[in-house]
């Protein structure tokens, strides 16, 4: 598993290339955990 994720190059209309970073599974797990923690804090304390 690549720790930096996968980079895909997508062509643009102006004949340049846009690099698109695709997150790894671990990135998605961490994002979901943070989202859940922030959601609980918002519901309980109204901090966010």
- Rounded to an integer, what distance in angstroms lies between the CA atom of residue 19 and that of residue 15? 13
Q: Which residues are within 8 A (CB) of 19 and not within 5 positions of it... i.e. 6 or more apart?
A: 7, 8, 9, 10
pLDDT of residue 37: 87
Phi, psi of 17 (to 5 degrees): -120, 135
Q: Is residue 13 part of a domain?
A: yes
pLDDT tens for each residue of 14-28: 889 988 888 889 999
Instruction: Determine, yes or no, domain membership for 18.
Output: yes
* Residue recorded with tokens 């922030």: 38
Query: Residue 28 sits in which domain range?
Result: 6-45
Q: How many domains does the chain have?
A: 1
Query: In this model, does residue 43 exceed pLDDT 80?
Result: no
Residue 1 domain flag: no
Q: Which of 9-18, 24-33, 35-44 has the highest mean pLDDT?
A: 24-33
């Amino acid at each position: 598993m690549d720790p930096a994720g996968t980079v895909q190059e997508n062509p643009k209309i102006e004949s340049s290339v846009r690099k698109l970073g695709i997150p790894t599974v671990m990135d998605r797990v961490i994002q979901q955990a943070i989202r859940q923690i922030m959601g609980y804090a918002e519901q309980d304390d109204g901090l966010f």
